[in-house]
Amino acid sequence: MQVFPELLIEDLRGEIEPERLGRQAGERGMPPLEAAEDPVQTEIEEYVEAKKNEAVKLRDAQLEEVDRHLDQLDQAVLAGDLESSARKAATEFREVEQSELQALKARLHEFERRRRDFFDFKHRNRLDREPDYASPRTRLLLVGLIVLLFVVESGLNGAFLAVGSEGGLVGGWGLALGFSVVNLVLPALLFGPASCRVHHIRKIWKAVGVLAILGWLGAAAVLNLGLAHFRDASADLSENIGAEALSRFQASPLGLQDAESWLLFVLGFFFSGVAFFDGRKLIGDAYPGYSRKHRRMEDARADYDDLWQDVVDQLRTIREEGLDAIRRTAHQAKSQPVERRRALEREAKLLAAFDAHVEQLRRFGTMLIEEYREANRSVRFDRGHPEAHATPWTMAPPAAQRKRPDTGAVDEVDLGPLNQQYEAALHRVHEEWERTQARLDLQGSISRAGSPGQNPAVDGGS
């Protein structure tokens, strides 16, 4: 274990330079022969003492870390610790149950009410199929299609009507824009949705649906034929184009003279038809009110499922945390004696390394002092031996290490009873998990239950 810095006599000698200090002092006759102390030698001694004190600080810091680790280990794990983790999980299960039970019942009741309402509607209206309506994404695409038709039709009609128009291309496009609004918006927002009533079980609503279809056919035919006659009249450069177009339409509605006018009529009628069927799809299922009832039921189903999933996630988190706590406690009980032995072995190695480091420092300090004294004597003019150098130098012993109070080491664990307690704690957590699910009726979400006409199936989550 390399805790203390490596000591090299060359490095120490290079830092303190004992021979240089000894010669400088000796040339000046220092210290005096009768002096009991040598200030220069004291500097070398303080340098060695500083190195020793640094080692003591390192030793004490490492010993404190060992003490903290041993304090954690010297706490016996009792059977009650395992039971406490299981009891804590059971308490948290009940808290979730108390806080979420009423909300689950309320949302389940709302779903059941919406489901009964849906099936009552289905039975009353003799529907034997599932509703067919566009998803939000499909509805967005349908709206985009109508906008695209509006742009394309306005552009094509503007190009056709520009011929002979007093305003030219701009005037033709202005007229085409107003025509497209009527030709596309009315079928999409009025005739198309109203035509769905033709599927209704009541005759009065069927009549409304039939009238909407006939109304669209008539309006689309009249509007597009009128626009085609307007184009014919404008191509002939008539002075009063509107009156001329109306006269021609009244005299012969299908008597268009130009192939381009027929093309204008066919394109306009086609675009109006697309808008008409888009309008039928936008409002939902072809049977009025069917998709709305179904969406309400599905929204209630989703609300319940969202809360169900949230509660299940809460319970699962409590279960996993409880099981993890039990496993950690059992592992701690089994590993305590082994970890304690390792910590004590580390402490013994640390102290042995410290003793070796201090002993080496003492030897090197003695060498440095002797080198200083020898250099000092070799250059003194009196060739004498100062009284301060008469006594061999000795390093003061390092500060004593701390004494750890005897807290009582944890004995080896009997794995038989511990395993029984461990299994009992795990079993209790699983048992409380299953009981809480049963009390909350959380064995499966409605979405995984199958047909909405049946009770939710059981699907265990443990």
* pLDDT at position 49: 93
* C-alpha span between 56 and 351 (Å, rounded): 10
CB 257 within 8 A of CB 232: yes
**pLDDT-derived band at 177, boundaries 50, 70, 90:** low
26-30, 176-180, 290-294, 431-435: which is most confident: 26-30
**Residues ≥6 apart with Cβ < 8 Å to 233:** 164, 241, 242, 244, 245, 248
Question: By C-alpha distance, which of 429, 394, 431 is closest to 88?
Answer: 429
CB 110 within 8 A of CB 246: no
Radius of gyration of the chain (CA): 50
* C-alpha span between 358 and 275 (Å, rounded): 98
Distances in whole angstroms, Cα of residue 206 to Cα of each of 30, 202, 209:
129, 6, 5
Q: Does the pLDDT of residue 302 top 70, yes or no?
A: yes
* pLDDT at position 245: 62
pLDDT tens figures, 143-160: 676 677 666 666 666 655
**Residues ≥6 apart with Cβ < 8 Å to 367:** 9
pTM value is: 0.47
Q: Residue 111 CB: number of other CB atoms within 10 A?
A: 23
Number of helices and strands (H, E) in the chain? Answer: 13, 0
pLDDT tens figures, 7-66: 899 999 999 899 999 899 888 889 888 888 899 999 999 999 999 999 999 999 998 888
